[in-house]
Amino acid sequence: MLKQISRLLVSVVIVILMGIITTMPANASVTKSNAELVSLVSSSKTVTMFDPQKVRLGITPTGWSNSDDPSIDLVPPIPYQQILSEMALSGFKGSQMSGKYPQDMAVLKKELALRDFTISEPWVGTYFTIDDDEDSKKIFHQQMEFMKKIGGTTIVVAELGGAVHQQPVAPLPNRPIFNDRQWEKLTKGLNELGKEAYEAGMQLCYHPHVGTGVETLGDIDRLMAGTNPKYLKLLLDTGHLYYAGVDPLMVTQKYADRIKHVHLKNIRKDVLDQSKKKGLSFLDSIRAGSFTVPGDKEGIIDFQPILEELAQAHYEGWLVVEAEQDPNKANPLQYALMARNYLHQETGL
């Protein structure tokens, strides 16, 4: 209870400061000092890297609460109202959908409108490789209808047949390896769903994910070659790529024309190296602190050339900050503001 009261006081102080100072939330950064809750940093960048009418900044709720493991949370759990408010306060405009958010559309829309906020993407897990076409299509249709009501156009998909990212095993050596038949099933199924999305004015973006059958560069190449670029786009997740030993900059350069959604996730290399050495599960690696946000000096990923490649390719869509972290160890508001300030400095957005 004391922890939640403390977090609420931090939010109140920030709101007061933002009311006094005319600088946008995009220019805000939280220090790690308890004595200085907020440090507003002005950026000298005057030209934006992206068209602000075509590129929006979002953030996932995984820094506050993790849908894959509800135990990664505070005690008592952080309420969704606080999560949405802190995201909006940090200067972001959208969030990935979460099981913690209201499932009633009327309530959800009311909460989003209150904060001038929206949902950047829903998550669709397919199971084509284990012959569960019916459930795969059912989940997709549910999320497509959801996005129609929200007013969004992006649907994120990942094949979860045989996935181990939620299992108590090391994800890289235990992930599924698809045979030719499974690849054929997967590409055929994704082409069908992608065609439906396209005809509905939406785009299906594939998320290569640690602990699944589409994880490595070879996997990505095979998926891209086997699917129609008109129907299936690529989600660039910098953290998942790095975790799997793939250079996110190389993927950006190779598939810039197909990248239509971006998750900006940073890596604490020393923590990740220890996680791999100890054979930690994906969720235990999260708890250990393998992931962090862009702008964190503890992170290893250089986002500047990645952002520049996207800008040169005239990228349009969401840039979504994602840091799956334990809120007991990493204050979500602090890291959200850290990431938002970094992106403003780098892109001008």
Q: Is the pLDDT of residue 331 over 60?
A: yes
- So what's the pLDDT on residue 45? 53
Section 189-201 average pLDDT: 98
In this model, does residue 25 exceed pLDDT 90?
no
User: What is the CATH number for 62?
Assistant: 3.20.20.150
**Residue 15: which H helix or E strand, with range?**
helix 2-20
* Percentage, residues of the chain above pLDDT 70: 87
pLDDT digits (tens, 9 = 90+) for 224-268: 999 999 999 999 999 999 999 999 999 999 999 999 999 999 999
Would residue 19 count as lying in a domain?
A: no
Mean pLDDT of 14-25: 34
Residue 86 is assigned to a structural domain of this protein: yes
pLDDT, tens digit (0-9, with 9 covering 90-100), for 70-128: 899 999 999 999 999 999 999 999 999 999 999 999 999 999 999 999 999 999 999 99
- For 124-149, what is each residue's pLDDT tens digit? 999 999 999 999 999 999 999 999 99
What is the sign of the dihedral through the CA atoms of 188, 153, 94 and 97? Answer: negative
Asked whether the predicted pLDDT for residue 32 surpasses 80, the reply is: no
- Residue 213 above 50 pLDDT? yes
Mean pLDDT of the region 60-74:
94
Q: Which domain holds residue 263?
A: 44-347
Phi (first) and psi of residue 341, to 5 degrees: -65, -40
The answer to whether position 307 is within a domain reads yes
Instruction: Say if 156 falls within a structural domain.
Output: yes
pTM listed for this prediction? 0.88
The verdict on residue 88 lying in a domain is yes
Q: What is the 3-state secondary structure (H, E, C) of 131-164?
A: CCHHHHHHHHHHHHHHHHHHCCCEEEEEECCCCC
Domain count, the chain: 1
Question: In this structure, is residue 1 part of a structural domain?
Answer: no
In a domain, 89, yes or no: yes
List pLDDT tens digits, range 276-288. Answer: 999 999 999 999 9
Phi, then psi, of 320 in degrees rounded to 5? -110, 120
